Structure 1
């Protein structure tokens, strides 16, 4: 199966607490990191693919070491397709590539993309980027993105899949913090967001 997430911001202590940008109600980064790992692994198996749309980890005053980030990512189930966010750097991607492992024949643990990825799902295209795109008039194309944390683009075709995204509130079945979204949940969000915007709500 395919899953989608963004803006995990492992190690980002400044996000802890109740704030308007990215509320994370944990007592420590250790607790936050573990909550994401646990939620992720409760859903994802090593047979699955998770598209991570950027900002894997961050510490404003002292970016976590590549070794620390690798240790976290190695605990996450599935194949990780990593799209570079503004807080990810090429040195990290090179380090992860050097320490890549195989989940099976020709199936590396990590794959890397600097800008974005396009896949098909249920007769739609998912164009996955870190930053939200202004695509204009589209037909059966949805932009999955991160970057804006607890904010939402008022366009149904732009869906924030970040762990802090307000779109998560549209799901009938609430998911634990850090759980990657399924294809079915993407479409549930899309149709509900479409209906809310048609009724003049955002």
Structure 2
């Protein structure tokens, strides 16, 4: 069995207001969090890689034990690209997230390869990115489906209609993308 790479963003675990703000179809934040864990684990295996492009959780200090519990229930080797809700007021990675068992040090942006292509990962959408003019793809979050991608860029957040609140493969996320 080979390792697969998945991408997701903006799970906003423990964020009560996200339900109304983004019209997420769950009765409570507990239902929301449980649905995301279940949907995540329905596609990701223990050895797979998951790139989370920021805003993993909310109220990090108040919910640190719950966030830790949710994190360890999620399958895969998880990488974090830091989002605006993942940091303290000073801009440092929040201690709750810093204390989790990420597969690598969380970064503000990350460059990798998938599907034979160069891939630029960040929480924020970019108009330009490394190797853009040489076939590179850009995945981002933050916009909750409200900022359309351009060319070979797209929002991979859980609010996207084709994502259905679960991590997706590169091939799934790029199937309608220009070459």
Shorter-normalised TM range: 0.7 to 0.9
Q: 2:112 aligns with which of 90, 111, 119?
A: 119
Give runs of aligned pairs for residues 51-70 of structure 1, distance below 5 A.
Answer: 51-59=51-59, 64-70=62-68
**Distance (whole Å) between structure 2 residues aligned to residue 23 and residue 94 of structure 1:** 29
Unaligned runs of 5+ in 1: 101-108, 169-174, 195-202
**Distance (whole Å) between structure 2 residues aligned to residue 8 and residue 112 of structure 1:** 19
> What's the offset of the Cα at 1:111?
2.4
Give runs of aligned pairs for residues 172-187 of structure 1, distance below 5 A.
Answer: 177-187=164-174
Is this contact kept in 2: 1:8–1:162, CA < 8 A? yes
SS of aligned partner of 2:175: helix
Query: Greater Rg, structure 1 or structure 2?
Result: 1
Confirm or deny that 1:93 pairs with 2:111.
no
Confirm or deny that 1:150 pairs with 2:154.
no
Is this contact kept in 2: 1:57–1:64, CA < 8 A? no
Unaligned runs of 5+ in 2: 88-92
**Distance (whole Å) between structure 2 residues aligned to residue 113 and residue 16 of structure 1:** 26
Q: 2:13 aligns with which of 10, 32, 48?
A: 10
- Which deviations, in whole Å up to 9, do the C-alpha atoms of 1:98-155 show, x marking residues without a partner? xx3xxxxxxxx53232211111123311100011111176221111010000213341
TM-score normalised by length of structure 2: 0.85
SS of aligned partner of 1:16: helix
**Count of equivalent residues:** 168
Is this contact kept in 2: 1:7–1:56, CA < 8 A? yes
CA-based RMSD: 2.0
Is this contact kept in 1: 2:8–2:50, CA < 8 A? yes
> What's the offset of the Cα at 1:71?
0.7
1:123–1:92 distance in 2 versus 1, CA, 3 Å: same
1:154–1:37 distance in 2 versus 1, CA, 3 Å: closer
TM-score normalised by length of structure 1: 0.76
